[in-house]
A and B are shown apart, each in its own frame.
Chain A
Amino acid sequence: MARLNVNPTRMELSTLKKRLKTAKRGHKLLKDKQDELMKRFIDMVKRNKEVREAVEKELTLAFKDFLIARAVMSSEMLEEAIMYPTQRINLEVGMKNIMSVNTPVFKLVTSDIEEEKASSYPYGFANTSSELDSAIQSLQGVTEKLIELAQVEKSCQLMANEIEKTRRRVNALEYVMIPQLIETVKYITMKLDENERGNRVRLMKVKDMVQAR
């Protein structure tokens, strides 16, 4: 491992030693963070998988219902029937901090557009088929889950990013920074010791010469 390009002085030695200490501490902290993130991520991603499987199944069923409704009714009729919804779905977005990763928290807010409480079916029953009713009902059932899926999946993506970033940092510290610092500290110590020995030998030599006179 290449050592850093520094002058072998006592001054440098002490700064390097300080840096090494900080690097080791940073490494430990990041490693802990990585471990904890990983733990949370695995829980989260398991949930993500479950929710996605459920949603995909339900949604496929709902779409099937809708397809049948579409087949039974003429498309103008169908479009006219659902053109003007009686409610509006909005989202409240909160933030949750998981190990310094900001993840979104979605909350469904359903608000009626009309003043009086209308049914959630925005059409009269005269011109529509019952298939449409059940299609809309099953879609309604799946919405809540869809939002949960959105929240969990987004969190997973963000956490995956963060884990990758943290891992890079940990590795950079562990395999580059810390060995480099250790190597350099060693180099400076050796150099200083060598100077010390050189100095001592010179002094002894000088003493011999003085005594020999």
Chain B
Amino acid sequence: MFMYKIGVVGDKDSILGFKALGISVFPTTDAREASRTIHKLAKESYAVIFLTEQLAKDLDETLEAFKDTVTPAIILIPNNQGTLGLGMKGVRDSVEKAIGADILFGKEGR
């Protein structure tokens, strides 16, 4: 069976550890470069790309572009300064998109 790869994009300090596990690491702190990297990885056989939230906050368009495709899955992870809550926001967004109201998280209006 054809093997897909895993990639991690983020700032070097956070993601370097993944390299020791044999996951490809693409250190960058620049949003545009990250966007380029993601597009490049998508063309190659990367099935999962982990992206730090720190970078993801400026990369809405890039994330949107890969929402409808099965691979690659771009998954947001916190970096070493903790989470920005963007990953959770992504989950909440898909709930709102599907159901029309946020039933999992918010207790608004109740």
Please name all residues of chain A whose beta carbon is closer than 8 Å to the beta carbon of B90 when the two chains form the complex. 153, 157
Instruction: Say which residue of B17, B47, B75, B91 sits within 8 Å of A146 (CB atoms).
Output: B75
Q: Indicate whether A78 sits within 8 Å of B16 (C-beta atoms), given known contacts A139-B21, A153-B90.
A: yes
The verdict on A93 contacting B16 (CB below 8 Å), with A146-B50, A159-B98, A164-B97 known, is: no
Report how many residues on chain A are interfacial, defined by Cβ distance under 8 Å: 63
CB-CB contacts of A135-157 with B at 8 A, as 1s and 0s? 11001100100110111011011
Q: Cβ of A149 and Cβ of B94 under 8 Å apart?
A: no
Given A88-B22, A91-B48, A102-B70: A160 and B4 interface contact (C-beta under 8 Å):
no
State whether A89 touches B6 (Cβ < 8 A).
Answer: yes
**Residues of B contacting A121 in the complex (Cβ-Cβ under 8 angstroms):** 20
Tell yes or no: A187 within 8 A of B by CB: no
Q: Could you tell me if A93 and B71 are in contact, using CB atoms closer than 8 angstroms? A: yes
Band of interface residues on B: 35 or more
Find out whether the CB atom of B3 lies under 8 angstroms from the CB atom of A146: no
A184 interface hit (Cβ, 8 Å) = no
Report whether B47 and A104 are in contact in the complex, using a CB–CB cutoff of 8 Å.
yes
- Write the nearest CB–CB distance from B33 to chain A, whole angstroms: 20
B-binding segment of A8-16, A23-31, A59-67, A201-209:
A59-67
Please state if B47 and A93 are interface contacts (CB–CB under 8 Å): yes
Q: Is the CB–CB distance between B20 and A41 below 8 Å?
A: no
* Chain B, interface SS category: mixed
Contact with B along A40-51 (1 / 0, CB 8 A): 011001101100
Contact B75 A149, beta carbon cutoff 8 Å:
yes
* Other-chain residue from A62, A90, A158 in contact with B17 (beta carbon distance below 8 A): A62
Pick the contact of A60: B70, B83, B88, B97 (CB < 8 A). B83
Considering the complex of A and B, which 10 residue pairs feature the smallest CB-CB distances, nearest first? A154-B73, A160-B94, A82-B20, A63-B80, A160-B98, A90-B3, A88-B22, A163-B98, A91-B4, A85-B22
B residues with CB within 8 A of A? 1, 3-6, 13-14, 16-23, 47-48, 50, 67-68, 70-71, 73, 75, 77-80, 82-83, 87-88, 90-91, 94-95, 97-99, 103-105
